[in-house]
Chain A
Amino acid sequence: MRHTLAVLVENNPGVLARVAGLFSRRGYNIDSLSVGRTERPDVSRMTIVVEGDQSVLEQVTKQLHKLVDVIKISDITPEEYVDRELVMLKVNADPARRGEIMQIADVFRARIVDLGRKTVTIECTGDEGKINAFEESLRHYGIKELVRTGKIAMLRGHKATSLEEKRDED
Chain B
Amino acid sequence: MELTAAQGLIRCLELEGVDVLFGYPGGANLPVYDALHESKIIKHILVRHEQGAVHAADAYARVTGKVGVAIATSGPGATNLVTGIANAYMDSVPMVLITGQVSTSQVGTDAFQEVDITGITMPITKHNYLVKDAKKLPSIIKKAFHIAASGRPGPVLIDLPKDVASEIIKFDYPKEVSLRGYKPIYTGHKAKIKEAAELMMKAKRPVIYAGGGVLSSHATAELRELAEILTAPVTNTFMGLSSFPGNHPLFLGMLGLHGTRYANMAVTNCDLLISLGARFGDRVTGKIESFAPNATIIHVDIDPAEIGKNVRVDVPIVGDVKSVIHDMLSHLKKKDRSDWLEEVQNWKKQYPLIYSREGKLKPQAVIQKLSEYSKGDVIVATDVGQHQMWVAQYFSFMNPGSLISSGGLGTMGFGLPAAIGAQLGLPDKRVILVTGDGSLQMTIQELATAVDQKLPLKIFVLNNSTLGMVRQLQEFYTDKRYMAVHFDFVPDFAMIAKAYSIEGYTITSEEELDKLLPEIMENDKAVVVNCIVDSNVNVSPMVLAGKGIIEAIDC
**A residues neighboring B (CB under 8 Å):** 9-10, 13-14, 17-18, 21-22, 25, 55, 58-59, 62-63, 65-72, 163, 165, 168-170
Contact = CB atoms under 8 A, between A and B. Distances in A.
Given A17-B119, A169-B139, A71 B303 contact: no
A73 B304 CA distance: 15
A168 B305 contact: no
Given A21-B123, A72-B181, 16 more contacts: A13-B130, A14-B118, A14-B122, A22-B123, A63-B305, A65-B304, A67-B181, A68-B127, A68-B179, A68-B181, A69-B181, A71-B181, A165-B180, A169-B136, A170-B136, A170-B140
A68 B178 contact: no
A66 B178 contact: no
B147 interface: yes
Interface of B: 118-119, 122-123, 126-127, 130, 136, 139-140, 147, 178-182, 303-305, 308-309
Nearest to B147: A68
Contacts of B147: 68
A28 to B, nearest CB: 13
B180 A168 contact: yes
A168 B178 contact: yes
Contacts of B119: 14, 17
Nearest to A15: B181
A9 B140 CA distance: 18
Given A17-B119, A169-B139, A68 B305 contact: no
8 contacts: A13-B130, A14-B130, A21-B122, A21-B123, A68-B179, A68-B182, A71-B180, A169-B136
A62 B122 CA distance: 17
Nearest to B156: A68
Nearest to B140: A170
A12 to B, nearest CB: 9
Nearest to A10: B181
Given A55-B308, A66-B305, A168 B179 contact: yes
Contacts of A69: 127, 181
A43 to B, nearest CB: 9
A58 B308 contact: yes
Most chain A beta carbons < 10 A, residue from B126, B130, B182, B308: B182
B306 to A, nearest CB: 9
Contacts of A170: 136, 139-140
Nearest to B178: A168
A168 B142 CA distance: 14
B305 A62 contact: yes
- Listed from nearest, the 10 A-B pairs whose CB atoms lie closest are A62-B305, A68-B127, A71-B181, A68-B182, A62-B304, A70-B181, A71-B180, A68-B181, A63-B305, A168-B178
Contacts of A72: 181
A58 B126 CA distance: 20
B440 to A, nearest CB: 32
B366 to A, nearest CB: 40
Given A62-B304, A62-B305, A17 B122 contact: yes
Contacts of A67: 127, 181
B390 to A, nearest CB: 33
Contacts of A21: 122-123
Contact of B126 (A22, A68, A70, A169): A68
A170 B181 CA distance: 12
